[in-house]
Amino acid sequence: MKKKRIAFFDFACCEGCQLSVLQLDEKLLDLLDHVEVAAWREVMTGESDQYDVAFCEGSITRETDIHRIQNIRQTADIVVSLGSCASIGCHNALKNRWPTKKALEIVYGEQAKHFDSIPARPITAVVDVDYQVLGCPVSLTEFEAVFKCILTGQAYDPPNEPVCVECKRNDYLCVFEKGQICLGPVTRCGCNAICTAFGEPCHGCRGLLDQPNLEAAATVLTADHLHKIMDAVAHQYQLTREEVLDKFSLYNNWPELTFEEDDTHDT
Amino acid sequence: MQSFVLSSEQLNVLFETLMAKMPMMGPKQRSDQPGFYHFDWLKSPGELVLHYTTTTIPPKKAFFPPVETMFSFKLGDPPELTHIIEDTPFVLAGVHPCDLAAIKALDDAYSVPPADKRWLANRRRAIIIGSDCLPDEYCFCTSMNTADARLPCDLFLTPIDRGWLCEVHTDAGKNVLKNIQKDTAQKKDIEDASQWRLQKAEKISTKLNINFEAFAKILEAGGLTPIWKEIADRCYSCGSCNTTCPTCFCFNKYDEFDTTLTSGIRKRVWDSCQLPEFAMVAGEHNFRGERWERVKHRWHRKFLYLFRQFKRPYCTGCGRCSRACTADINMADVINQLAAASEKERSHA
């Protein structure tokens, strides 16, 4: 069988997911035995525009990004959103809580006019993707699993279980016991509870769980549902809505907390 | 049943003697949070804490690890399969009566054909030493008839004035004590131990207001949907009630290929009926897609289906699910709430 040609592309992000993939070390070499690398800017010089599988990290934040990702989608048989920026919007979507013009002014001041920007969104919001790898940065176990699924032609569904499940399987102490607020109960697992392993609460980097109602196959929560969860958390731990919003908004801004241009938003 | 008295020093000698021969799992203080305990492999007998309150994860993990490799495989014609089953003996110490009752419940459940070979093989490896406890506000073992459970332990320890009363429950237990210095138990020692049990029972504040059969009938009659929905409104479906339960025995299995893509391993992990995908089948049809249906299922499973099959509820009153629930859904409170609602309905009829 002809080897698949793979390529890595980056959009708005820290490129930490690509870097994490390199931390697979020797295992990466074993995995790469099954493929040919067509483009991978962080690793090698030169690139080819002939590829079958495109691993794309980062968020879409400019009109030009939209054209670029659509072009990649047309070229590749398989598109993978690599990491939470590409899959759920992640930190990039924090700016969506301000009108785009205002956000540009805050960051660039008078130079703002030179920049082109649109509300940040994950790659998954612009093109259909075939596989998602979540996490900030990606979980290497999940990357490996997805990579093998691609090679063997299998589908991969990100787990729809909360981080609590992995915490318990590892016999970690529940961080609520230490009086900390943890997003584990509403966050998708697959990270093997890496933060709670080190005594940190979960910050929700792998995104929120699917709606419990499976009739609705949508992978994104409605604003109503998110606000309900936030209110429940606020009530439970006697926090204000703003305090809970702060915790949720680190990673989970798209699309529920995205500013609507017509809305009156006091910031 | 024979009983001996061991001083604290003699008990320590017993654990030292055992640990010289085989590994020992028992409750020890968590290094990351003093005052919290967990079952783990002990580095020395000194790590064992017999006066612990409870643990997040039950000691069933000694026989049914949360994550385990069942076998390795290699594709081919025929494919090669190598089962991974341990056979070295070990000691499981410091098991409270409720958790002993849970191990017995799992012995029964996993013995139903087709029996779970992994559970049974691990059970054969172990010497179990139980120990008595004092309850906290979540415990309701007296309502579940597990406060004084002993089977299937080999030895059972109760704190008394002279040290520890050590009940011998099996020949294996007797063997373990063979070369250990000990006293025969006097009347006073037996009374001390009864006093401990009495004091424990008095300290239990959480109680069920209904007997098992009557509660099973309430569940059987149905019609409690508004209450299930109300409870489900608070539930995150995080599965922690199942993953901390000493009697839950459901698991999931999956394969992991290595990088050659021609060989790999099969793993099994603890699963939870509260997770949305648990009852999902082909075509994405889900038997319990709604959160309230899953919540209802947990009580039905423990207090109706398994109660009818094994003549005992699959709950020991250990309170772990109630402790672990970040939404404060309390096992005993829900039972009492359902009993009260059903009583109210009947008096109106």
In a domain, A82, yes or no: yes
Tell me: do A177 and A118 sit in the same domain. no
DSSP-derived secondary structure for B206-220: ---SS-HHHHHHHHH
In a domain, A80, yes or no: yes
For residue A47, what is the domain's CATH number? 3.40.50.700
Q: To probe the interface with A, which of B326, B328, B329 has the most A CB atoms within 10 Å?
A: B326
Report the C-alpha gap between B31 and A242 in whole angstroms: 34
In a domain, A79, yes or no: yes
In a domain, A257, yes or no: no
Tell me: do A133 and A169 sit in the same domain. no
> Which among A169, A173, A236 is the nearest to B243, CB-wise?
A169
Report the C-alpha gap between B318 and B103 in whole angstroms: 13
Nearest residue of chain B to residue A30 (CA atoms): B259
Residues of A with Cβ-Cβ distance to B239 under 8 angstroms = 161-162, 164-165, 168
Reading chain B (349 residues) residue by residue, the pLDDT tens digits are 899 999 999 999 999 999 999 999 999 999 878 889 999 999 999 999 999 999 999 999 999 999 999 999 999 999 999 999 999 999 999 999 999 999 999 999 999 999 999 999 999 999 999 999 999 999 999 999 999 999 999 999 999 999 999 999 999 999 999 999 999 999 999 999 999 999 999 999 999 999 999 999 999 999 899 999 988 887 888 899 999 999 999 999 999 999 999 999 999 999 999 999 999 999 989 999 999 999 999 999 999 999 999 999 999 999 999 999 877 899 999 999 999 999 888 787 6
Residue with tokens 């359902």: B338
pLDDT at A223: 44
In a domain, A255, yes or no: no
Tell me: do A134 and A169 sit in the same domain. no
Nearest residue of chain A to residue B272 (CA atoms): A165
Report the C-alpha gap between A114 and A260 in whole angstroms: 23
Tell me: do A107 and A208 sit in the same domain. no
- Does residue A214 carry a pLDDT above 50? no
Tell me: do A145 and A15 sit in the same domain. yes
In a domain, A126, yes or no: yes
Contact in structure between A159 and A215 (CB atoms under 8 Å):
no
Quick one: which of B65, B31, B61, B60 has its CA closest to B47?
B31
Contact in structure between B4 and B180 (CB atoms under 8 Å):
no
> Which among A148, A162, A168 is the nearest to B236, CB-wise?
A162
Nearest residue of chain A to residue B323 (CA atoms): A177
Tell me: do A118 and A177 sit in the same domain. no
Report the C-alpha gap between B182 and A6 in whole angstroms: 71
pLDDT digits over B27-45, tens only?
999 987 888 999 999 999 9
Tell me: do A23 and A122 sit in the same domain. yes
Tell me: do A137 and A56 sit in the same domain. yes
Residues of B with Cβ-Cβ distance to A192 under 8 angstroms = none
* Local structure of B348: helix, strand or coil: helix
Does B152 sit behind a cis peptide bond, omega within 30 degrees of 0 on the bond before it?
Answer: yes
Tell me: do A65 and A135 sit in the same domain. yes
pLDDT digits over A119-160, tens only?
999 999 999 999 999 999 999 999 999 999 999 999 998 999
Cα dist. A170→A144, A174, B56, B102 in Å?
Answer: 21, 11, 11, 21
Average pLDDT, chain A: 85
Contact in structure between A128 and A72 (CB atoms under 8 Å):
no
Tell me: do A70 and A112 sit in the same domain. yes
Q: Which of residues 286-345 of B touch A (CB under 8 A)?
A: 286, 289-291, 324, 326-328
What was the ipTM of the complex prediction? 0.93
Quick one: which of B210, B222, B216 has its CA closest to B340?
B210
Tell me if A214 and B289 make a contact (CB, 8 A cut-off).
yes
Nearest residue of chain B to residue A233 (CA atoms): B327
Domain range for A43 is 4-152
pLDDT at B34: 84
Instruction: Please give the tally of structural domains in chain A.
Output: 2
- Does any CB of chain A come closer than 8 Å to the CB of residue B36? yes
> A51-69 burial, b for 16+ CB within 10 Å, e for fewer?
bbbbbbbbbbbeeebeebb
Residues of A with Cβ-Cβ distance to B241 under 8 angstroms = none
Tell me if A186 and B236 make a contact (CB, 8 A cut-off).
yes
- Does residue A96 carry a pLDDT above 60? yes
Tell me if B257 and A161 make a contact (CB, 8 A cut-off).
no
> Which among A152, A178, A209 is the nearest to B261, CB-wise?
A152
In a domain, A267, yes or no: no
Q: What is the mean pLDDT of residues A15-20?
A: 96
pLDDT at A232: 63
Residues of B with Cβ-Cβ distance to A152 under 8 angstroms = 257, 261
Q: How wide is the angle at C-alpha A201 spanned by C-alphas A199 and A202, nearest 5°?
A: 125
Distance from CA of B246 to the nearest CA of A (A): 13
* H or E segment to which residue A101 belongs: helix A100-108
In a domain, A123, yes or no: yes
Report the C-alpha gap between B93 and B178 in whole angstroms: 18
Tell me: do A143 and A12 sit in the same domain. yes
Distance from CA of A16 to the nearest CA of B (A): 23
pTM of the predicted protein model: 0.90
pLDDT band at A33 (very low <50, low <70, confident <90, very high): very high
